[in-house]
Structure 1
Amino acid sequence: MDRRIRKSREAIIEAFILLIAEKNFEQITINEIAERADVSRGTVYLHYTDKYDLLDQCIRTHFVQLIDSCLPCGEQALFPTEAALLYTFQYLDQHASFYAAALANKGVPGFRNRLQAVLLRGFDKQMDMSGINRKMDKGILVQFLAVAMTGMIEQLVTRATPYSAAELAEQVWALMERNQMVPQPQPVHR
């Protein structure tokens, strides 16, 4: 991508995130985004059809990066190792401005639900329903965990917790192990 195009897109996204942190999404206009990004309205429309397209692309980009941060090396489980969970929390910490603004702003259409859906799909794929979980309803357990993880993410990105990403990862990993949410090693058959 051309450097000028990349710079314009980055300025637009940064301006957009700042505006989301300040006001309701529905109140944000393309003019405000353009003014804050120091580009013309036409430049914004050159890259995005409207503010909904900008929001959607922003969310998609951040979710792809979020998923990539917790699925290193083509792993299949949502958080295959404690290190992957740590990388995920560090990624969230580094991009806290976006996630905090999107989670805090009630005007961002469906952001919390989309984040929970990503977590729900991941937990559903890896939940071990044997052992202590065998009498549980998988749907309820997975929903509970997705909502809980969304809450932990919100605590981290809004700085509502005194814990660092590393401390949070350690505690959440311990909870995941306790609830048989981490991928179990498969027995080796000889």
Structure 2
Amino acid sequence: MDRRVRKSQEAIMEALISLMAEKEFEKITINEIAERADVNRGTVYAHYTDKYHLLDLCIETHLDQLIASCMPLEGLNEPAYPTKDSLLRVFTMLEKHTAFYTTLLTSKGVPALRSRLLEMICLGIRQQYTDLQFPAGVDQEVRIQFMASATVGVIEWWFTNPVSYSAEDITGQLWAMLEQNQMLPGKQLV
């Protein structure tokens, strides 16, 4: 992709997020987005059908980065399933983009991020845990939904609560809860 095109798209996405921090998504216009991004209205429409398309692609871009951050690192022989280190990489990426996640998780009219995040986490857990054995007694799909919902709930709380935890601290807290509740493969309480 041409560097100028990429810079324009980034500026447009950043403009949308900064406007969403100030006002409701429904009240934002393409003209305001273009003005904030310092591009003309035609440039916005050259890349996006409308503000809903822009929001969808903005969410998709950030979630793609999040997915990439939790993949096993090459050369480290990490297991295919999530580890505490991979969870820390996710929370570090979330922390790096605090403005984006805080804005979208606190926007009342935009539940899209939460539902897409939940869907993404469920899919990731499902793909990575298919061949692993969990403690007996709970259906695997119920376990996946529980883990994903708990993780999204913690992420939401982390961004909307005034208590400040670092990525390392929140990872440690979530990992300890997953272990205590036998939510990790091969981790059984004795």
Q: Aligned to 1:86, which of 71, 75, 88?
A: 88
- Tell me the equivalent position of 1:6: 6
- Tell me the equivalent position of 2:23: 23
Task: Name the CA distance, whole Å, in 2 between partners of 1:92 and 1:69.
Answer: 10
TM-score (norm 2): 0.84
Q: Choose 147-156 or 25-34, whichever is displaced more.
A: 147-156
Q: Would you identify which runs of 4 or more consecutive aligned residues in structure 1 move more than 6 Å?
A: none
- 2:118 maps to a residue whose letter is Q
Task: Name the CA distance, whole Å, in 1 between partners of 2:96 and 2:157.
Answer: 14
Q: Choose 18-27 or 89-98, whichever is displaced more.
A: 18-27
- Tell me the equivalent position of 2:60: 60
- Tell me the equivalent position of 1:172: 174
Task: Name the CA distance, whole Å, in 2 between partners of 1:155 and 1:37.
Answer: 30
Contact kept in structure 2, 1:81 and 1:182, CA below 8 Å: no
Greater relative contact order structure (CA < 8 Å, 6+ sep): 1
Q: Describe the shift of the 1:175–1:166 C-alpha distance in structure 2 as closer, same or farther (beyond 3 A).
A: same
Residue 182 of structure 1 aligns to a residue whose secondary structure is coil
Aligned residue pair count: 181
- Post-superposition Cα deviations, 1:77-122, rounded to whole Å, max 9, x if no partner, equal 3xx2211111110100011111111111122253211111111222
- Tell me the equivalent position of 2:43: 43
- 1:146 maps to a residue whose letter is A
Contact kept in structure 1, 2:17 and 2:103, CA below 8 Å: yes
Task: Name the CA distance, whole Å, in 2 between partners of 1:135 and 1:184.
Answer: 14
Structure 1, unaligned runs of 5 or more: 186-190
Contact kept in structure 2, 1:92 and 1:157, CA below 8 Å: no
TM-score (norm 1): 0.84
- Post-superposition Cα deviations, 1:146-175, rounded to whole Å, max 9, x if no partner, equal 221111112333353321110111121122
Task: Name the CA distance, whole Å, in 1 between partners of 2:125 and 2:96.
Answer: 24
Percent identity of paired positions between Structure 1 and Structure 2:
51
Task: Name the CA distance, whole Å, in 2 between partners of 1:20 and 1:5.
Answer: 23
- Tell me the equivalent position of 1:70: 70
Task: Name the CA distance, whole Å, in 2 between partners of 1:160 and 1:141.
Answer: 30
The reply to whether residue 153 of structure 1 matches residue 155 of structure 2 is yes
Structure 2, unaligned runs of 5 or more: none
- 1:49 maps to a residue whose letter is T
- 1:50 maps to a residue whose letter is D
- Tell me the equivalent position of 2:116: 114
- Tell me the equivalent position of 1:188: none
Task: Name the CA distance, whole Å, in 1 between partners of 2:147 and 2:83.
Answer: 17
Q: Aligned to 1:101, which of 81, 100, 103?
A: 103
